[in-house]
């Protein structure tokens, strides 16, 4: 083996170490990005659940107000006029 083969072997080893280091660094960066995305997705799901709860509360409140108005008008769901008309 001549000096040229040792140079080639040394260059190949140096290239392999450099590629391995870059690969490990990029893998670490990708893992950080994946963790950040996971956090964002969890926050979005939590926000969606809060919105669903708020809309349900709003729906309940509107239903209560409509029932109150219908009862005051005398043709609500449980009013005597409504029962007499057979609707």
**pLDDT at site 78:** 56
**pLDDT at site 76:** 57
Structural domain boundaries, residue 53: 3-85
**pLDDT at site 82:** 56
Report the domain count for the chain. 1
By the 8 A CB rule, do 76 and 82 touch?
yes
As a 3-state breakdown, the chain gives helix, strand, coil percent values, each rounded to 5, of 90, 0, 10
**pLDDT at site 5:** 79
pLDDT tens digits, 10-48: 889 999 999 999 999 999 999 999 999 999 999 999 999
pLDDT tens digits, 61-86: 999 999 888 888 876 565 555 555 55
pLDDT tens digits, 47-56: 999 999 999 9
Residue 31 Cα to chain centre, angstroms: 18
């Amino acid at each position: 083996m001549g000096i040229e083969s040792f140079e080639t072997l040394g260059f190949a080893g140096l290239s392999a170490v450099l590629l391995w280091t870059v690969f490990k660094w990029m893998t670490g960066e990708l893992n950080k990005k994946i963790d950040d995305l996971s956090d964002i997705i969890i926050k979005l799901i939590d926000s969606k659940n809060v919105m669903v709860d708020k809309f349900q509360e709003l729906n309940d409140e509107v239903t209560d107000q409509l029932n109150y108005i219908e009862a005051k008008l005398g043709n609500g769901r449980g009013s005597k006029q409504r029962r007499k008309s057979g609707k």
